[in-house]
């Protein structure tokens, strides 16, 4: 059984097998689709349309294929994308199993994913559903039984102006 596929987002960390340092994937081809981002502000979904200068610093350090001269990362194609969904930009979703092709790498997929870029953000609902023993391991000073829900409008007085 293969490993679980995880959607890549803006900020995913990638590395080239011929480079010396990782670089950060930038999503520039769409501004509409987000993964696990309830504010729709940070985790844009990466697609196979992220071609050309797709990385933040534009380099993976020095390149073994260029006699250790500086790398100039250029993506010509992505492989291993999730092809069952097409986003509004016409792109297919990249996953942690996707690979990018750089022409310097001889046409083989030499750029791989180190981290998908997603960051879990627990919500109030997650905390409410968590078991008490998990709460005590995360924060031993907090007792969920002691937490009291307050009315958001408690203490608010509404007065009509001019009456």
pLDDT tens digits in sequence order for the chain, 163 residues long: 457 899 999 999 999 999 999 999 999 999 999 988 766 678 899 999 999 999 999 999 999 999 999 999 999 999 999 999 999 999 999 999 999 999 998 889 999 999 999 887 666 677 777 777 777 777 777 766 666 566 666 666 666 666 5
Kindly report the pTM of this predicted structure: 0.73
Cα dihedral 43, 45, 50, 53 in deg (nearest 10)? 10
* Token pair for 48: 């196979």
Instruction: Classify burial at 108, counting beta carbons within 10 Å of its beta carbon; exposed 0-12, middle 13-18, buried 19 or more.
Output: exposed
């Amino acid at each position: 059984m293969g490993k679980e596929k995880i959607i890549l987002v803006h900020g995913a960390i990638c590395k080239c097998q011929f480079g010396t340092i990782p670089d950060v994937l930038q999503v520039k081809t769409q501004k509409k689709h987000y993964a696990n981002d309830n504010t729709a502000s940070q985790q844009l979904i990466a697609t196979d349309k992220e071609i050309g200068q797709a990385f933040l610093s534009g380099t993976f350090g020095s390149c073994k294929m260029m006699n250790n001269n500086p790398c100039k990362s250029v993506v010509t194609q992505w492989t291993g994308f999730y092809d069952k969904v097409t986003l509004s930009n016409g792109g297919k979703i990249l996953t942690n199993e996707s690979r990018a092709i750089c022409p310097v790498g001889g046409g083989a997929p030499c750029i791989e994913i180190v981290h998908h870029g997603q960051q879990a953000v627990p919500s109030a609902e997650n905390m409410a559903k968590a078991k008490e023993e998990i709460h005590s391991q995360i924060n031993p000073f907090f007792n969920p039984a002691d937490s009291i829900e307050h009315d958001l409008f408690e203490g608010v007085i509404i007065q009509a102006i001019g009456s």
